[in-house]
Amino acid sequence: MTKPLHTELPLNPHVAGLPPYNAGMNIADAQQKSGRQDIAALASNENPDGCSPHAAAALVGLSPSRYSDPACMALRAALSQKLGVDTDRIVAGNGSEEMIAAICRAVLRPGTLAATVCPGFGLHEIEALANGARVEKVGMRPDLDFDIPAIIAMLERAPAIFFLSSPSNPVGPALDRKGLARILAAVRHETLLVLDEAYFEFTDEDTPHGLAALSATDLSWVVLRTFSKAYGLAGLRVGYAVTSDVRLARAVSAAKTPFNVNAAAQVAAVAALADESWMRSSVARLKRERARVASAVADMGLSAGRSQTNFLFIDVGRESRIVFDHFLSQGIIVKPWKEEGYDTFIRVTIGTPSENDRFLDALRDLIRT
Ligand SMILES: *Cc1c(COP(=O)(O)O)cnc(C)c1O
């Protein structure tokens, strides 16, 4: 029996009208739809190497009956040590995406302006819209790099929040020293700059550290980092926000749920931080593979963003939804891009060498047709 829709119940229109988040297809779904078992999951930028064995070992024997530490003390202390930032300026989240939601809830009001970049990370727009903000987007340049003058022009309008992912998800490049300095010089004191560094660990050696650059300013800012990508803990859900000041950290903390980071995620994140050498060697392998895949893609005559991440954003020159089905039929999940002007692009995660070979074979197949 079909249930009635209860259209007379008033819903929050800001939330009920949200666009869907473009999540990567999950593996079970892909197995069912493709009829294949050997799925190469290359849509969500997870780490194909897994995680540090110390992080995995920390999960063994955990008791699920106790609440987790609502303050995430051990994790925040470890982060404070690593980053040289006081504990009370760090907020841990159920993934950095929860921090995006909490920041929006702490700062935005209906009608205020929030801004970000297009193409961009969906939640930078969705969480702002959920709080009733107006969202405006600055385009990337046609050559797939940041449009610094356009970002500056938007910042001069003093949006309440500017979300900027550097390295960019989905495009891949990171701001260089000069670009970052020009942007920071344009941020007004009425604006919260949120620099999302989900792919920080994959950047080039000479790419500036956002945290250091922002720390040298008197602006209001947040730097977001995550354990989901380089550290390989996506399924546990843990990330964090480093804030410019304690007042902002308190507001973000008040806007999250109290026991937001579960006990397993807290101990695994602490163990992962204590074993950075695992992360660094995995990142080094993935960067080598990224270079190999990028040069094979270039050899096919396709253009792609200059990536400092664990993925590539590739213009395949035909509708990405159809391209998605081509890859899925071969057991490969990619992310078809759906933002206007970019619907011939796919984003593909760097996987294991054999997954990457499968992707490249399927891509060669595609462009021959
Ligand atoms: C993956 C990603 C996140 C979310 O990471 P979680 O910590 O898993 O919530 C945030 N921002 C960007 C740009 C990402 O690509």
* Residue finishing a domain among 273, 294, 319: 273
Q: What is the pLDDT of residue 170?
A: 98
DSSP state, 201? G
Same domain as 261, residue 290: no
Q: If you measure from the C-alpha of residue 199 to the centroid of ligand 1, how many angstroms do you get, rounded to a whole number? A: 8
* Residue finishing a domain among 220, 245, 273: 273
Same domain as 252, residue 164: yes
Same domain as 223, residue 288: no
Q: What is the pLDDT of residue 243?
A: 98
Q: Where are the beta strands (DSSP E) in the chain?
A: 40-41, 90-93, 113-118, 134-139, 161-165, 192-196, 220-226, 239-243, 303-304, 311-315, 332-333, 335-336, 345-349
- CATH at 71: 3.40.640.10
Q: Which of 209, 264, 258 is nearest to 93 (CA)?
A: 258
Q: What is the pLDDT of residue 234?
A: 98
Q: Which residues, in sequence order, are CB contacts of 99 under 8 Å at separation 6+?
A: 91, 93, 222, 224, 239, 240, 241, 252, 256
Contact 324, 343 (CB under 8 A): no
Q: Where are the beta strands (DSSP E) in 151-266?
A: 161-165, 192-196, 220-226, 239-243
Question: Counting atoms of ligand 1 from 1, which one is nearest the CA of 94?
Answer: 9
Contact 237, 210 (CB under 8 A): no
pLDDT digits (tens), the chain, 369 positions:
677 777 889 999 999 999 988 788 899 999 999 999 999 999 999 999 999 999 999 999 998 999 999 999 999 999 999 999 999 999 999 999 999 999 999 999 999 999 999 999 999 999 999 999 999 999 999 999 999 999 999 999 999 999 999 999 999 999 999 999 999 999 999 999 999 999 999 999 999 999 999 999 999 999 999 999 999 999 999 999 999 999 999 999 999 999 999 999 999 999 999 999 999 999 999 999 999 999 999 999 999 999 999 999 999 999 998 999 999 999 999 999 988 999 999 999 999 999 999 999 999 999 987
Residue of the CA atom closest to atom 12 of ligand 1: 198
Q: Is the peptide bond before 170 cis (omega within 30 degrees of 0)?
A: yes
* Residue finishing a domain among 273, 297, 326: 273
Q: If you measure from the C-alpha of residue 202 to the centroid of ligand 1, how many angstroms do you get, rounded to a whole number? A: 14
- CATH at 26: 3.90.1150.10
Q: Which of 145, 121, 173, 147 is nearest to 335 (CA)?
A: 121
DSSP state, 280? H
Structure tokens at 170: 């989905």
Same domain as 257, residue 133: yes
Q: What is the pLDDT of residue 1?
A: 62
pTM of the model: 0.96
Contact 187, 155 (CB under 8 A): yes
Same domain as 87, residue 189: yes
The structure tokens 């499968």 sit at 358
Residue 5 located in a structural domain: no
Q: Which of 241, 224, 281 is nearest to 51 (CA)?
A: 281
Residue 104 located in a structural domain: yes
The residue range of the domain holding 306 is 13-50+277-368
Residues contacting ligand 1 via CB (< 6 Å): 45, 95-97, 121, 165, 169, 196, 198, 226, 228, 234, 239
Choose one of 103, 117, 197, 229 to mutate for the ligand 1 pocket test, by most ligand atoms within 8 angstroms of C-beta: 229
Residue of the CA atom closest to atom 1 of ligand 1: 198
How many structural domains comprise the chain? 2
